[in-house]
Amino acid sequence: MSLVKKFATVGGATLGSRVFGFVRETFMAAALGTGPVADAFNTAFRLPNTFRRLFAEGAFNSAFVPLFAKEIEARGMDGARRFSEEVFGVLFTVLLFLTIAMELAMPFIVRELIAPGFANDPAKFASTVSFATIMFPYLACMSLAAMMAGMLNSLHRYFAAAIAPVFLNVILIGVLAYAWYGGHDAVAVGYGLSWGVLAAGLAQLAIVWFAVRNAGIRIGLRRPRLTANVRRLLVLALPAAITGGITQINLLINTNIASAKAGAVSSLVYADRIYQLPLGVVGIAVATVLLPELSRALRAGNLNEASNLQNRSVEFTLFLTLPAAAALLVMSEPIVRLLFERGKFSPESTVVVGHILAIYGLGLPAFVLIKAFIPGFFAREDTRTPMIFAAISVVVNVSLAVTLFPSFAASGIAIAEIVAGWVNAILLFATLVWRGHWGRDIPLLTRIPRLVIAAAIMAVALHFAVQWLAFPLSSAAPLLTRAITLCGLVAAAMVIYFAFAFGLGGASLGMIRRNLRRRDASGRVEAAASQEPDAS
C-alpha cells in the first residue's frame, strides 16, 4: 500500500471522528455555551485527556512501536506476544494504583494544579471535582487501548485504532440529545457527559482489543515484572511521553492560567476543536503511519527510503495544511458563527472564539510539521533530544502566557501556544539537518515557496469575499443561507488554491501518481505480518 493511501486510511477515520466531534461541540455549545458548567466539564476532561496523551499515546506510539516491531523481526509473532504481555502486566498495575491515588487526591489536584481560579466559585469547583472523579478511569482504558493501537500500527492495521475515537463523540452526542429531549439543566448535562466519557473509554478499549485478537495476538495478564525489554521501554517511554504530549502539557498549564477568567477555558476548547480538524486529519495520520514505516526502513539499512519517507511526509502535510491555515486566519468568525452560535453561545462568544481560532491558524503548520519531524528521532530510539526541545517550548509557552494573559485574555494564551509550537518545530528540523538525518530534496525545497504563494493568493481572495458576503455570513441571515455561503466559499477557495498550486509548480499530477504507486524499497507491498487478511 502506498504512503499516501496509508495516510488516507488513518486520516479518513480521523476525519470521521472530527466530524462527529464538531456535532458534539455544536450540541454542547447550544446546551452550555461558555458558562460555568462548560468551564467545569472542559477543565475536568482535560485532566485524564492530558495524562492519556502524555503517558499513553505519547509513550507507546513513540517507544513501544519500534520495540514491538523489533520483536516481530527478531522472534516472530510469539516473541512479540510475550513482550506485549510483559508490558501489559506492568502498565495495568501502574494504571490501577495511579487511578486510585488520583481519585483520592482529586479536590487537591483541581484546587492547586488544574484550576486554582475556580476556588472562588464553590459551585464550579465542586462540579469540576465531581466530573473529574467520574471521568478519570477513562485514562486507564485509553492507556491500555493506546498500547494495543501501537501493536496494530506495527502490524500495518491502522483502521481500528483510528476509528475507535469516533465512539467517544457518538456517545456524547447521544447524551446531549437525550438531555435536550428531557429538558435537563446544565449540571445534569455535565454529569451525563462525564459518565458518557467513561463509557466511551470502555467501548474504545473493547474495539482495539478485538482487533488485536483478530490480528492473531491474544494478550494474557501476567504478574508485573521489570524484564530487560520492559526496562528498555521505560527508558524510552518517559522522554517520549513528555515529547509526544507537549501540546497537552501546554494546554494543561494554559487551563490553569485561563481559569482566572470566566469563559476563557471554554473559549479555548471550542477554538481548539475546529483547529484540531486539519491537525488531526493530516498530522495524526502522518505521525501514525510514518513511525512504523520509518522504523522498518532504518532497520533494513535503507537510508534512501527513510529520507524519501520523511520528505514525502513533509510535502504531503504542507500541501494540505497551508490552505487550511490560511482559511482559519481570514474566515474564523464565519466558521465559529455557523458551527456554534445558537442557544447559550452568544455573538460575543463568537468574536472571542473567532480571534483565538485565527491565531491558531498561524500555528497550524508548525504543529503538523512537529508530528512529521518527531518520528525521525523516535525511529532511531532517540527520545531524549525531542524531550529537551519540548521542555524549551514549554518554558516559552508559560512565559508568554503569563505575560500576555492579563492584557489579551484567552487570545494571549493562544499566541503563547503557537510561538512555542514554532520554536519546537524549528529546533527539531534544524537538529535533523545538522545530524545528517534529513536528506536534501531539491524538488521539495522548490515546491514549498510555491505552495506558500498559492495559499497566500487564496487567503487574499477569501478576505475580500468574506467582506463582500458580510450579510449572508452574519447571524442575521438564516442558518441554511450561512451554511450554503460558507460551503461555497470553501469550494471556491479550494479551486483557487489547487489552480495556483499546480500552475506555479508547487504540486504536480506526476508527483501525486508516484506517491500513490509508491512501494517500499524491498518491493513488498506490506510486511509479512500484514499479509494475512485484515479482519479489523
For the stretch 74-105, pLDDT in tens is: 777 777 778 888 888 888 888 899 899 999 99
Task: Name residue, grid cell 501489559.
Answer: 88
Contacts of 195 (CB under 8 A, 6+ apart): 134, 175
User: What is residue 527's predicted lDDT score, i.e. its pLDDT?
Assistant: 35
User: What is residue 509's predicted lDDT score, i.e. its pLDDT?
Assistant: 64
User: What is residue 16's predicted lDDT score, i.e. its pLDDT?
Assistant: 65
Rg (CA), the chain: 23
Mean pLDDT on 373-378: 79
Cβ–Cβ under 8 Å, residues 522 and 70: no
- The better pLDDT of the pair 149, 509 is held by 149
Asked whether the predicted pLDDT for residue 334 surpasses 90, the reply is: yes
Band of the pLDDT at 354, cuts 50, 70, 90? Answer: very high
Band of the pLDDT at 525, cuts 50, 70, 90? Answer: very low
pLDDT mean across residues, the chain: 79
Asked whether the predicted pLDDT for residue 214 surpasses 50, the reply is: yes
Mean pLDDT on 466-484: 89
Grid coordinates representing 379 are: 525511529
Band of the pLDDT at 518, cuts 50, 70, 90? Answer: very low
User: What is residue 521's predicted lDDT score, i.e. its pLDDT?
Assistant: 39
- The better pLDDT of the pair 367, 5 is held by 367
Most confident range (mean pLDDT) of 258-267, 323-332, 336-345 is 323-332
What is the C-alpha separation between 526 and 522, in angstroms, rounded?
A: 10
Comparing CA positions, the residue from 98, 381, 372, 367 lying closest to residue 239 is: 381
DSSP for 29-85, written as a single string: HHHHTTSHHHHHHHHHHHHHHHHHIIIIIHHIIIIIHHHHHHHHHHHHHHHHHHHHH
Minimum mean pLDDT range among 226-240, 333-347, 388-402, 493-507: 226-240
User: What is residue 536's predicted lDDT score, i.e. its pLDDT?
Assistant: 33
Asked whether the predicted pLDDT for residue 248 surpasses 50, the reply is: yes
User: What is residue 295's predicted lDDT score, i.e. its pLDDT?
Assistant: 63
User: What is residue 485's predicted lDDT score, i.e. its pLDDT?
Assistant: 94
Mean pLDDT on 279-286: 64
Mean pLDDT on 3-17: 56
Asked whether the predicted pLDDT for residue 423 surpasses 90, the reply is: yes
Burial classification of residue 507, based on how many CB atoms lie within 10 Å of its CB (0-12 exposed, 13-18 middle, 19 or more buried)? buried
What is the C-alpha separation between 457 and 463, in angstroms, rounded?
A: 10
What is the C-alpha separation between 415 and 407, in angstroms, rounded?
A: 12
Helix locations, 183-223, DSSP H: 186-214
What is the reported pTM?
0.67
pLDDT digits 0-9 by tens, 378-394: 777 787 888 888 889 88
* Identity of the amino acid at 286: V
User: What is residue 524's predicted lDDT score, i.e. its pLDDT?
Assistant: 36
Domain coordinates in residue numbering, the chain: 36-254
User: What is residue 249's predicted lDDT score, i.e. its pLDDT?
Assistant: 67
User: What is residue 104's predicted lDDT score, i.e. its pLDDT?
Assistant: 92
Grid coordinates representing 458 are: 487564496
